Each structure stands twice: as structure tokens, then as C-alpha cells.
Amino acid sequence: MSILTDISENLQRGKAKVVKELVQQAIDEGIPVKQILDEGLLDGMNVIGEKFKNNEVFVPEVLVAARAMNMGATLLKPLLAEAGVEATGKVCIGTVKGDLHDIGKNLVKMMMEGKGLEVVDLGTDVDPETYVRTAKEQNCQIICCSALLTTTMGVMGEVVKKAEEEGIRDKVRIMVGGAPVTDAFCQQIGADKYTPDAASAADAAVELCKSLA
Ligand code: B1M
């Protein structure tokens, strides 16, 4: 069994300590960081996601898998950052109000930091006022909103409206993403950019920051 399969399977069993050790071993063996992330950690999380959907595993199993994912990802974070360049911009990121899913948001953050962007992490359950106040106070070029629930994605539209009300809409770009979000939804609410995954979100953020420079 390859070490990446081993990482995926131990993540699915919630063996956080083993996952951390295996990720370290994979790094030491020189396996590219992106490959460890995609074929080890994310692969395991995708399997858990499917099983959760089919009622084959339940919230406790998902939570221990998420903890294992985060422990493994913590080791990769500085290496992704090392591959990056000088800070090219500043963004704030959070999961929208009412939504506590943060694994995807943390990945987007990690990838953006890997590209040299400075990222202010607002955590989960973030209301529109907090996004906009942070962008104003900390001079962020981009507000990044993540949502995993169809019931919370509408908050993204409120963020766009709040940014307009506060008069920062011409200076700040708004990026949206998360499993239920689509490009059509992004356009419908008047946000600037939808991306389907963490890597393309990081690339898009760098481009947006360049266009504002
Ligand atoms: Co929840 N959950 N969950 N959950 N959960 C989903 C999302 C769900 C699809 C499962 C299902 O029923 N099939 C479903 C939503 C249904 C819907 O709205 N259509 C659901 C539900 C219903 C719920 C609860 C309501 C369950 C309940 O209590 N009855 C509840 C809600 C709590 C709340 O938020 N208020 C709940 C709770 C939980 C846990 C706490 C158990 C746990 C979260 C743990 C945590 O995040 N710390 C959890 C999990 C883990 C999931 C699943 C299994 C996995 C989500 C995940 O982390 N995926 C999920 C099922 C699934 O997705 N198959 C599910 C891995 C992650 C890397 O992917 O976040 O999509 P994702 O991020 C991707 C992209 O979307 C993108 O980049 C990432 C990868 O490259 N991306 C962006 C994300 N944000 C972006 C922002 C960008 C750009 C790209 O730009 C700014």
C-alpha cells in the first residue's frame, strides 16, 4: 500500500496521530506537498464525505476525520508557504454566518498563504458586518466567503450589499466558493469571482490583487 493511500485510510478512521506521522514521513521521502494534500488528505476526506452523504458514517466519525485532516494539513502549511512568493496582497476569509464548516475555508487560506498572500482568518459563522469592517480596518483587497450549506450561501449576497452600503465596493473584490456555490450564483448576487477549489481560489486572488495594484 502506498503511503498516500495509508494517509487516506487512517484519516477516514480518524487516526490523527498516525496521519500526522505519515504526512511527516511522506514529506521526508520527498513526495510533492500538493500530491500529499490531494492524494492523501483530500482523498480521505472525499471518501468520508460520500459515506456521510449515504448515512454510512455520522457526525462523530466526520469530526474525528476532520481533526486528522487538520493535523496533517498543519504540517503541509509552511511548505506550501515556502513555495510561495513575497506577499502580493491582503485578504480576509471566513465561513458565512450560520455555517460552521471550515475545512474547505482552511484549505483556501493555506493555498493563498502558499501564494504569498497575507490572510486574515475570521473563522466560521461570520456576519456581513465583520467581513466588511475587517476589510476596511485592515485594508484587505479581497473579502473571501465560504459556504457549505444551501441555507447559508445567501449570506454572501448580504456581504456584497453591506460592502456597497459602506462605500468600499469599488476598492474591494468579493470572492465566493464552497460546495453549493456556482458561477451563476456568484453573478446573481453581484460578487466578483467564483472558484471551485482552493488552488484556483489562490490563483484568482493573486490575479485580482495584481489588477488592483
Ligand atoms: Co456538514 N454538511 N453539516 N458537517 N458536511 C455537508 C456540507 C452536506 C453536503 C452533507 C450531506 O448532507 N450530504 C450537508 C449540506 C447539505 C446542503 O446544504 N445542501 C451538510 C449538513 C446538512 C450539515 C448539518 C446541517 C448536519 C446536521 O447537523 N444535521 C450541520 C450544519 C452545521 C453548521 O454548519 N451550522 C453539519 C455539520 C458538519 C460537521 C460539524 C459534522 C462537519 C464540519 C466539520 C468542520 O468543517 N470543521 C461536517 C462535514 C465535514 C461535512 C462534509 C462531510 C464534508 C465537508 C468538507 O469538509 N469537505 C459535507 C459533505 C460533503 O461535502 N460531501 C457536509 C471537504 C472540503 C475540503 O471541501 O468545504 O467543499 P469543501 O471545500 C472545497 C471547495 O468547496 C472549495 O475549496 C475546497 C477544496 O478545494 N471552497 C472554496 C470552499 N470554500 C471556498 C471559498 C472560495 C473558493 C473555493 O473562495 C472564497
Same domain, yes or no: 154 and 202: yes
b/e burial code for range 68-85 (CB count within 10 A of at least 16 → b) = bbbbbbebbbeebeeebe
Task: State the CB neighbour count (10 A cutoff) for residue 107.
Answer: 25
In this prediction the pTM is 0.82
DSSP string for 20-86: HHHHHHHHHTT--HHHIIIIIIIHHHHHHHHHHHTTSS-HHHHHHHHHHHHHHHHHHHHHHHHTS-S
Task: State the CB neighbour count (10 A cutoff) for residue 17.
Answer: 10
How many angstroms separate the alpha carbon of residue 101 from the centre of ligand 1?
Answer: 5
Query: Which grid coordinates are listed for 44?
Result: 480521505
Same domain, yes or no: 143 and 179: yes
b/e burial code for range 31-64 (CB count within 10 A of at least 16 → b) = bebeebbebbbbbbbebbbebeeeeebeeebbeb
Query: Which grid coordinates are listed for 116?
Result: 504569498
Number of domains in the chain: 2
Q: Does residue 148 carry a pLDDT above 60? A: yes
- Nearest atom in ligand 1 to the alpha carbon of residue 152 is 18
Same domain, yes or no: 131 and 62: no
Query: Which domain CATH number covers 53?
Result: 1.10.1240.10
With the most atoms of ligand 1 within 8 angstroms of its CB, the residue from 101, 194, 206 to mutate is: 101
- Nearest atom in ligand 1 to the alpha carbon of residue 70 is 47
Same domain, yes or no: 110 and 190: yes
How many angstroms separate the alpha carbon of residue 28 from the centre of ligand 1?
Answer: 31
Q: Which of 104, 13, 22 is nearest to 65 (CA)?
A: 13
Same domain, yes or no: 97 and 63: no
CA 151 to CA 16: how far, in whole Å? 31
Q: Does residue 87 carry a pLDDT above 60? A: no
How many angstroms separate the alpha carbon of residue 105 from the centre of ligand 1?
Answer: 10
pLDDT at 84: 52
pLDDT at 86: 53
Same domain, yes or no: 99 and 77: no
Decide: 148 and 104 in contact? Cβ < 8 Å.
Answer: yes
Determine which residue's CA is closest to atom 43 belonging to ligand 1: 101
Query: Which grid coordinates are listed for 163?
Result: 460592502
Same domain, yes or no: 41 and 122: no
The set of protein residues with a Cβ atom below 6 angstroms from ligand 1 is 45, 49, 52-53, 59, 62-63, 66, 98-105, 107-108, 144-146, 148-151, 175-180, 195, 197-198, 201
pLDDT in tens, 23-74: 999 999 999 988 998 899 988 988 887 887 788 988 788 888 888 988 998 8
Structural domain for 116, as ranges: 90-212
CA 117 to CA 119: how far, in whole Å? 6
